[in-house]
Structure formats: structure tokens, C-alpha cells
Amino acid sequence: MFKSVLVANRGEIACRVFRTAKRMGIRTVAVYSEADAGAPHVREADEAVLIGPAPARESYLDGAKVLAAAKTTGAEAIHPGYGFLSENADFAEAVAAAGLIWIGPDPKSIRAMGLKDAAKQLMIEAGVPVTPGYQGADQSEETLTAEAARIGYPVLIKAVAGGGGKGMKRVDDPADFAAGLASAKREGAAAFGDDRVLIERYITRPRHIEVQVFGDRHGNVVHLYERDCSLQRRHQKVIEEAPAPGMSDAVRAAVTDAAIKAARAVDYVGAGTIEFIADASDGLKANGVWFMEMNTRLQVEHPVTESVTGVDLVEWQFRVAAGEPIPLQQDEIRLNGWAMEARLYAEDPANGFLPSIGRLEHFVLPEDIRVDTGVEQGGEVSQFYDPMIAKLIVHEDTREAAAARLAEAAGEVEVWPVRTNAGFLKRCLEHPRFVAGDVDTGFIAAEEEVLQSPASDEAALAALTLIAEAALDDGAVRADPFSPWVGQPGLSYGMRLNAAPRSTVWARMDGAALSGEVEPASAGWRGPDGTMAGVGFDQVQVGDRLFGYQALDDGFILFVDGEARRVTPWRAATGGAGVAASDGALRAPMPGKIVAAPVEAGATVTKGQTVVVLEAMKMEHALTAPFDGLVESVAAVGDQVAEAAVLAVVKAPE
């Protein structure tokens, strides 16, 4: 076994690999960019090396700098994590050429499975069923358009070097094919340096099922059963589970056998995942599952497989890379219970799921489940990297218990002022269709209106009232007509004859008006210093529920079921922020680069028509016209823009 390992990655996966390395007595080396100088993965390593500025292309994607760091620190092996250089065959070769151990598959296997078109052809030759489609060399728009018509709409355009939903576009109407193709090519070129695409038939009720495989240099290949990753948003996985719901022994045997065939076809060594698409229109069937792609690395969702098999996949990676055989035979790998993982993203579901960046002034995660994270309170969510900030993982005896516990855990998340999808995750996990196992990749889109709308919560309003009671009792809010909280015009406040004092408190919670009568003597809450004064944090209990509370200078944040609800006094509340759509200004929701401007100044547009496309956080975001009108101005393609910058102005007709 090697004695030291450098992890060529950042965030939660770097921290995850370090945990196993330290347990095995292996010295750890971190690399980091200038933006990550204070990140947990840097502090947790035995040694850390700065490799460049914040942009990934100048740091984490620069293989020469990573190799130089390994040489400087005396690292014997390199673990790539996922993303960045993990599926870069040239880098894997460079690692071996430098005399280091590459903790991953052979470069030839990476190349064989790295391009989706070539991989599909290889799978056909190996007898693995594949989705009908086109993966030819002719990339002309005319040929691709004709092939899409032959396959039949809807179709899925996919970057051949893609992954993580990047460079992937669903097209339902032939009239939209050219625009979808152009966008997929741009994303493929930007994310992977390759704008080639393939086209597949789009399965209308698809399930995403994948099989964890493992190979060694002694000719052994095993599977560690399947995972279901069907709960997705824009082709990005949101919740993963193992085993897959509704999986029969016959279908499991068919899909795992196909996965083993796929791995053997490329002489696979190490951890990999064979991804399949299944037609869920009439339940899972052995002849209704097709090969989609292979990920030649450790997956983000590997903890659910670890939970149900009891296997440390990173330890297996280390042992196989060191030349050892796989520790277990196939008949020794057993399924135990049910595991689920939810990806906690720094994004705002109420604002189109746009990434939310900034300082994590308040960051609290559940303590009694497995949590993989690479950020901490006081840290920054950067514009330069993926917005996933944690993974919440549970393991229970049954699927129902796992879903309930994970929903509870998502509701315990407290993050401010960065927004997260925690409340959205909780609503997904509690949705009757999900609980029943009735899921497919279109679930979130079909139920989006319900999933994005937090329900009115009487317990949350009761918590607000208790906080107000404590505020009055402590004297931080005085019952006088000039208080921003108490005694609004037309409302009673103050003393009562033969009864305790009572006041009516008015406030806004996320802009919605709230009011309630409070009696200071009944308060059972105190802040950390015994008063409401100053900025601090504590919890308030209503019945058997605890609500997190973060005081602010102009109000407070009440954490309710994973949501950060901002509470402000009635007269202090603005009822919202930002520029109204009626002014016609399209502003950048975050820093980024203009990659397309389909219309020019002077053009006439209709409401909802794309005016400008911003690339940020590795994805494209289309800004559309808020109403019919005339484009007065539009930013130039290639411009780097700051958050809130005006990218275009649409003028309403006179």
C-alpha cells in the first residue's frame, strides 16, 4: 500500500477521501486555488499546496500544476475525486508517466467510455442493450436534423463528452431543434472542449437506474447492486437511493449482468458506474432497460451504495490501485436496508433555482445522520465552482423510514443569507408520489408548482408570536405607538384592566402580512444572552417542533422546514427587493459571461422570448423578455458581467 495520496479536487469529495486515507494511515495532500485558501479540505490535509487562481482552468483543471504539487510533497498516488480531471485520460497517462499511482481506471478505459457515441457502439458490440439514436461522425446540422426526424420526437441532444446535465437538451418540436442543437454545442465546448453531439430517443417516462461496478487487475469484476437517480431537475440528480424502488429479482439480474458485460468490454479497473435508462410507463421490465453511459470514476452518490453494502468504496479504490484484488467476491456482497441521499445546493428555488453565492453567515446541518460537506460557517460559496454544498445521507430498514428521516433532516438545515434547496428537498421527499415510489425523471417538472411553494405553517406563525412575546417581555420591543412592531394604526396595544398586558404585533414574513396578539407574561423563550437585544442565534419550541432563529438588526430569520423565512416589522418591511419586470431591464442574476444574444437592439420581441444567454456556474441561463416590446439595448457576446448588471432593456410599446 502506498504511504501518501494527493487528492486532485476540492470540497466535500476531497474531505471524504481524506477520511478513509487517515483511517488507513495514509498521509494526505491537498491542492487548492486562491478562492479555497481557507476551505476545510485544505485544513484537513496533512499538507496543502496552492496551485493557482480561482478559475478552475487555472488551478484544478491544470494537470501540470497538480503533478508539480505531487512531486514537491512526495505524494505517491493521486486520487482525482469526481469532476475536474477525474475522467481525463491524458492526465491519467501523465500521472503514470511521472511514476505515480493513478487511483482510477486505465486511460484506455476512460477513452473508450468517455465519448458517448463511441461508448454506445462498443456496448452494441458487447451485447448490451442501448437506447435507439444516432451517434455518427457526420455532425452537420442537416444530418443531425434529419436523424432527429428519423428517430422521432421528442429527442434528447447530448454532448458526446458531456456529463452532469451539461450539453444536454430535450427537444419536443422540430422547429426548436436548431436552437437546442446550438445551445448543446456551446455548453459542450465550454464545459468539455468538444462540441460534438449525439441524439437519442427521449423516453417519455424514464427512470434513471445505475449500477456500481468494480474491477481489479486480477480479472475480477463485481457489482454492488443498483441505485435509482430518477429524481432530477434539468438532468441534474437531486435525490438518489439504493436499492431502486420496484426492482424485481429478474430485472435486477438483467441490469447487473449488462453492467458486468459493459465493464468487462473495456477491461475496467477500479470504481465505475454503468448508467441505464428504463421505461417506467408500465413498471420495470427486463427488456425495457437500456445502456446510457458509463462514468469512469467515483460517483457523487456513492454513499448510498456504501450504506446498503457496508463497503468503503474509497478504501477499495486504494487497495485496487495498489495492486490488491477486490476484497469481496460477488456472493459476499449483500444488500442491507434502504439508503437515500439528498444533494444540498446553494440555489434559490423561488428564483428559478439560480445559484446563490456569498458568505455562509449561518450554517447548521443535521448532526445524527451522515453528512458529507466541504464548507463551513463563515466560508464562501464561490461563483467559480459547482453550487452543491453538502450531501445528506440516511440509512434505514425500509424505504418509507428512509424517506421520512431524510425529509426530517432536510427540514433541520439552517443556512443564511445564502439560499438553499433544503425546503424543496423536504417537499420532494414528503410528496405522496415519491413516498409511493412513483417517480421518473419528469417528476419534479410535473410537480414543480407544488414543490416550489412552501405551505402556510401555523406552527411557524406560533413561533413568530412566541419570539414577539419574548421581545416584549425583555423590553427589546416596547408597546408604544411608535414601535415598528407593535400598535399599528387601528390596532390595540398595551395595558388591559384586570388582565396581563397584551399587544398586537404586526410583521411581514417573506413579504406576507402577519399579525397576532401577544402576552409577554406567557413567553417561554430567551436569546443566548437572555434578551432579544443584539444579534444572536437560538431556537424556539412550539409543541414538539423546534424552529431555528437568527436575529438581525432589522428583524430576524426564522428557519422553518429547511426554509429561511425573513421576518421584518410591518413598517420596516419593503415587501420585496429587486427591479420590477415592468421597467424592462434584464439584470444578471449572478456574475457570468454573455454567450449568446439571439436578438439585436431594435428588434421586436414577444413576452418570454430569449433576449440574452448568460453562462455562470457551468450552466447557461436564458433571460427572457418580460413583455412584448422593442429591444433598446443588449450586451455583447463575450462580455464578462457582474451581478445585477443590466444585460438588456426591453421597451414596452407606446
Concatenated DSSP letters of 593-653: EEEE--S-TT-EE-TT-EEEEEEETTEEEEEE-SSSEEEEEEPPTT-EE-TT-EEEEEEPP
- How much of the chain exceeds pLDDT 70, in percent? 84
**Active-site residue, from 16, 201, 297, 419:** 297
Q: For residue 108, report the phi and psi dihedrals to the nearest 5 degrees.
A: -65, -35
**Which pLDDT belongs to residue 621?**
80
Is a pLDDT exceeding 60 seen at residue 493?
no
Retrieve residue 55's grid coordinates.
478559475
**Which pLDDT belongs to residue 315?**
98
Cell 446563490 appears where?
Answer: 356
Residues 193-211 have pLDDT tens digits of: 899 999 998 888 999 999 9
User: What is the number of other CB atoms lying within 10 angstroms of the CB of residue 430?
Assistant: 18
The more confidently predicted of residues 514 and 80 is: 80
Is a pLDDT exceeding 80 seen at residue 370?
yes
Average pLDDT on 384-403 reads 96
Give the DSSP H/E element, type plus range, for residue 122.
Answer: helix 116-126
The more confidently predicted of residues 535 and 98 is: 98
pLDDT band, very low/low/confident/very high, at 618 (cuts 50, 70, 90): low
Query: Which range has the worst mean pLDDT, 54-63, 460-469, 515-524, 639-648?
Result: 515-524
**Which pLDDT belongs to residue 336?**
97
Highest mean pLDDT: which range of 24-28, 290-294, 465-469: 24-28
User: What is the number of other CB atoms lying within 10 angstroms of the CB of residue 166?
Assistant: 21
**Which pLDDT belongs to residue 588?**
83
Q: Is 229 exposed, middle or buried (0-12, 13-18, 19+ CB in 10 A)?
A: buried
Residues 288-302 have pLDDT tens digits of: 999 999 999 999 999
pLDDT band, very low/low/confident/very high, at 530 (cuts 50, 70, 90): very low
Residues 6+ apart with CB under 8 A from 501: 472, 479, 494, 495, 519, 520, 521
Highest mean pLDDT: which range of 357-366, 498-507, 508-517, 550-559: 357-366
Highest mean pLDDT: which range of 411-420, 516-525, 546-555: 411-420
Is a pLDDT exceeding 60 seen at residue 156?
yes
Helix/strand/coil percent split, the chain, to 5: 30, 30, 40
The more confidently predicted of residues 542 and 371 is: 371
**Which pLDDT belongs to residue 475?**
46
pLDDT band, very low/low/confident/very high, at 407 (cuts 50, 70, 90): very high
Helix residue ranges, H only, 266-301:
none
Average pLDDT on 293-317 reads 97
Q: Long-range contacts made by residues 200-203, C-beta under 8 angstroms, separation at least 24? A: 200/131, 200/132, 200/133, 200/151, 200/155, 200/156, 200/158, 201/131, 201/132, 201/133, 201/151, 201/152, 201/155, 201/156, 202/153, 202/154, 202/155, 202/156, 202/170, 203/131, 203/277, 203/278, 203/279
**Which pLDDT belongs to residue 552?**
75
**Which pLDDT belongs to residue 565?**
85
Is a pLDDT exceeding 80 seen at residue 575?
no
**Which pLDDT belongs to residue 392?**
98
Average pLDDT on 172-194 reads 93
**Which pLDDT belongs to residue 201?**
87
User: What is the number of other CB atoms lying within 10 angstroms of the CB of residue 198?
Assistant: 25
pLDDT band, very low/low/confident/very high, at 489 (cuts 50, 70, 90): very low
Helix residue ranges, H only, 475-512:
none
Residues 94-142 have pLDDT tens digits of: 999 999 999 999 999 999 998 877 888 899 999 999 988 898 899 999 9
43 labelled catalytic: no
Per DSSP, 498 falls in state: T
**Which pLDDT belongs to residue 562?**
92
- How much of the chain exceeds pLDDT 90, in percent? 65
**Which pLDDT belongs to residue 532?**
40
pLDDT band, very low/low/confident/very high, at 313 (cuts 50, 70, 90): very high
Closest by CA to 462, choosing from 541, 524, 568, is 541
Compute the mean pLDDT over every residue in the chain, rounded to the nearest whole number. 86
Residues 202-260 have pLDDT tens digits of: 888 999 999 999 999 999 999 999 999 999 998 889 999 999 999 999 999 999 999 99
Query: Which range has the worst mean pLDDT, 32-41, 185-194, 409-418?
Result: 185-194
Greatest C-alpha distance within the chain: 89
Asked if residues 49 and 67 have their Cβ atoms less than 8 Å apart, the reply is: no
Average pLDDT on 26-47 reads 97
Average pLDDT on 53-60 reads 95
